[in-house]
Amino acid sequence: TCSLAVVIVPLLDIIIGKTILPRQMTGALLAVLGVGFLEMDALREGIAAGESILSKGMVLSLIQPLAFGVGYWRAEHYTRKFPTEGMRLTASQLLSIAMLSTMGAIFTSGNIDSTLEVSQMVTWMTNPAVLGAICWTGLVTTAMTTFVETFALKELSASEATIIYSAEPIFGSLCASVILGEQFGIGGYLGASMVIGGCLFSNMGFGGKKEEATN
């Protein structure tokens, strides 16, 4: 569902009067349809297992594309406004993530005492597998990706960036296939092709400079 941010950002741009190129809208549409096809196999399995399409988790997860979309949209604004402050912008985002994550942990656990159990913390810090997972998710998939994203938005628009980010389910599916042995269905192959096509079409297009001049 996070990939739906590819629709949120262009809508926000339209609201403030920013021109959206036809190739960007077409690319966004292809990406959204592609993500839908990627999720089709899992959705079909869920329905067969008697799971509800509009479960509580699904409804809550629909908030994610709105939050991600607004985040990318504002990040583009501030990276253009402060082009030499990439490190500080990255640090401010990571600080916000840390603060909100801590608040969320306290809120969901009920109180701070049950959140910060010293014995449990010691067990985690002495377990190589847990420590490795924390370092990977904290340093690589959070800090590094936020850093790269912040600097990329100095060159790419938020609309173009979210279309590229929509390829995330493809890499997730590839990792699941290699590590867990999961198989791509027809929807997976078709969806991956559409997402890649949307990324290429949005960033290359077929109108070239003529399209840019027209808009």
Q: What is the pLDDT at residue 213?
A: 42
pLDDT value at 95 more than 60: yes
Residue type present at position 87: M
**For residues 67-71, average pLDDT:** 84
Query: How confident is the model over 99-135, as pLDDT tens digits?
Result: 988 888 777 776 655 556 677 778 878 889 988 998 9
Highest mean pLDDT among 3-12, 19-28, 39-48, 144-153: 144-153
**Mean pLDDT taken over the chain:** 77
DSSP string across the chain: -GGGHHHHHHHHHHHTT----HHHHHHHHHHHHHHHHHHHHHHHHHHHTT--TT-HHHHHHTHHHHHHHHHHHHHHHHHHHSTT-HHHHHHHHHHHHHHHHHHHHHHHHSSHHHH--HHHHHHHHT-HHHHHHHHIIIIIIIIIHHHHHHHHTTTS-HHHHHHHHTTHHHHHHHHIIIII-----HHHHHHHHHHHHHHHHHHH-SSHHHHHHH-
Q: How far apart are CA 145 and CA 60, in angstroms?
A: 24
pLDDT value at 47 more than 90: no
Q: Residue 130 corresponds to which tokens in the numbers above?
A: 């847990």
Q: Residue 131 corresponds to which tokens in the numbers above?
A: 């420590």
Query: pTM higher than 0.85 for the full model?
Result: no
Q: What is the pLDDT at residue 212?
A: 46
Q: CB 196: neighbour CB atoms within 10 A?
A: 16
Q: How far apart are CA 213 and CA 215, in angstroms?
A: 5
Percent of the chain clearing pLDDT 90 (strictly above): 7
> Could you tell me which of 2, 129, 142 has the C-alpha nearest to residue 61?
2
Query: How confident is the model over 144-191, as pLDDT tens digits?
Result: 988 988 888 888 777 777 777 777 777 877 887 888 877 777 777 787
Q: What is the pLDDT at residue 57?
A: 64
